[in-house]
Amino acid sequence: MNSAIRRLAVAAIVLMLALLANATYIQAFRAQELNERNDNRRVRDDQFSVDRGPILVAGQPVAESKPSNDRFVYQRTYSNGPLYAHTTGYYSYLYGRSGIEQTENSQLNGSDPSLVFRRLIDMVTGKRQQGASVALTLNPRAQKAAADGLNDKNFHGAVVALDPKTGAVLASVSAPSYDPNLLASHDLKKVNESWKQLTTDPDQPMLNRAVRETYPPGSTFKLVTLAAALSSGKYNKDTPVDSPARMDLPQTSADLVNHDGRNCGGSNKATLLVALRNSCNTSFGRLGLDLGADALREQSEKFGFGERHLPELGGVASQFPEDPNEPQLAQSAIGQFDVRATPLQMAMVAAGIANGGEVMKPYVVASVRTADLKTIEQTKPEALHQAVTPEVADQITQMMVDVVDNGTGEPARMQDVQVAGKTGTAQTSADRPPYAWFVAFAPADDPKVAVAVAIEKAGVDRSDIAGGRLAGPIAKDVIQAVINQ
C-alpha cells in the first residue's frame, strides 16, 4: 500500500511540476504572443479602453483614438481613411487588426517592453495607459498624387515611390481602396455588414496590390536583363544586337515578336541603346539566351527578387523562374513567362539603379515615440544588395533617360527635370487585357524619388493599353509631387 501511495504521490508531484512549468513558460515566453492574437476577446476588451497612440504622416495623425461615450471608451478614427488604408490597416473589435495597426500593435497600445517605464509612471500618477505614436515615411503629396492618378481614371493597380538613397517608402497606394472607419465602428452590426461586403467584393478593395500582389512585369524587367548584360562586360550601350521583327525561338514553332510587328530602329541590327529605347523584344530575348538563366536569376536576386520586403505590410517575394527552357528563358528576359514582381519590387529595381547600383532595404516606419515625444525607435537606412557597379548604373541611367526623351517613355517627360524611365506592357492571357507598367526616377543626375506604377485594369480597349501612355503620366505626377515641394 505504501508503495502505491508513493507512486501516486510522485505522479501528482510530476503533474504539478509540469503544470507549473507550463504556466511559467506561457507567462514568460508566450504572454505577448497570446495577447497579440486577434481572437483574444478578453484582451481586446481591455485594449479598447486604452488610449491607443496615433499613426502619423508628416507629423499629422492619419489614425488616432478619440474619447467615445460608450463602453469602449475610445473610438479609433482614420482621417483620409481610403488614402492610407493599405498601410495603416484597420483596428476592429470584431476582426482584429491589419497593417501597421497589427505589426506595431504593442507600441500603439503601450504594452511593448520598451514602454515599461512609461507605464510605471502612468501607474504612479494615476493616468490611463497611453500608447506610443508611430511615424510613417509617407509623403502626403506623393501619396495623394498616386491615389488621384489611379482613382481619377478608375484604374485598378498600385503605385510605389521610394527614396533611392534610404529605401524610405514615400508613397504606397493600392486601388481600389476601402475605408477602415467602416471596420473600426462601435456599431458591431454595421461592422459585420461592411466586412461581408468588402471581403466578397470581386474588386478586392482590401488587397494591398502594392506589396502583396505579383504581376508579370513585362518590359520593365528588361532593366534587369540590361543590368546583367552590361555587368557581363560583353556589352555596352553601343553594342549592336539582333533586332528583327520576329525571332525564331528554339525547341518550338512559336516566335517571339516585337509589339509593333516591326524591327527596331529600321534594321535587323540595333545598338543596345536603340533596343531599350524602342523596347525591342527580340533583342532582349536574344540577350537572355546569350546570358543564360543563371545570370538573369542572379541579377534579379541582387535587385531583391526572391526575398520578402516590407513584411510589416505582409509583403510577398517576387520570383524569377527556377529552371526555364530556352523558349521560356527568352520570354523571361522580357518579363513574361513565370516572372512575377510586386510594384514594390520594380520600384526597388529603379531605385537601385538611381542609387549607383546599391539597393536599399525598403521601410515605412520612420520612428516610434512615447506620448511625451521621447524617441524609442528610429529606423536607420540599411543597404540590401549591390546590384550593379556605379559605372553600370550610370550607363543604365543614360539609357533610361533616352527612353523618356526619345522613346516609349515620352509621356513622363518633364520640362525642367531629366527623368529616367522604362515602360512595360505585360501580356497575360487572351481573355484579359495586358498590364501597363512604368518605372522611373528623377532627377536623373541626383535622384530624389523612384517610382513604379502597375495598372492591372484600365477599362480601355486592349489596343489602347501601353505602359507609357497609361502609367507614365501617373509616375510623372508622383515625381513632381516629391521634387517640387
> Which residue stretches of 210-325 are H helix?
222-231, 272-277, 281-291, 293-302
- Which backbone phi and psi does 375 adopt, to 5 degrees? -75, 125
Residue 431 grid coordinates: 481573355
Q: Quick one: which of 283, 243, 245, 279 has its CA closest to 422?
A: 279
Question: Which residues, 6 or more positions from 415, have their beta carbon under 8 angstroms from its beta carbon?
Answer: none
Output the CA–CA distances (angstroms, integers) from residue 37 to 27, 102, 121, 392, in the order listed: 15, 10, 27, 47
Terminal Cα-to-Cα distance of the chain (whole angstroms): 88
User: What's the CA angle centered on 320, arms 426 and 419, to 5 degrees?
Assistant: 55
Q: Quick one: which of 390, 402, 351 has its CA closest to 237?
A: 402
Active-site option among 172, 219, 283, 332:
219
The CA distance from 390 to 353, in Å, is 8
Residue 35: CB atoms within 10 A of its CB come to 17
Assess whether 463 carries a catalytic annotation.
Answer: no
Residue 268 · residue 233 · CB < 8 Å: no
Residue 123: CB atoms within 10 A of its CB come to 10
Residue 287: HSE in the Cβ half-sphere, 13 Å Cα cutoff: 35
Residue 331: HSE in the Cβ half-sphere, 13 Å Cα cutoff: 21
The b-or-e profile of 324-362 (16+ CB within 10 A means b, else e) is bebbbbbbbbbbbbebbbbbbbbbbbbbbbbbbbbbbbb
Q: Which residues are catalytic?
A: 219
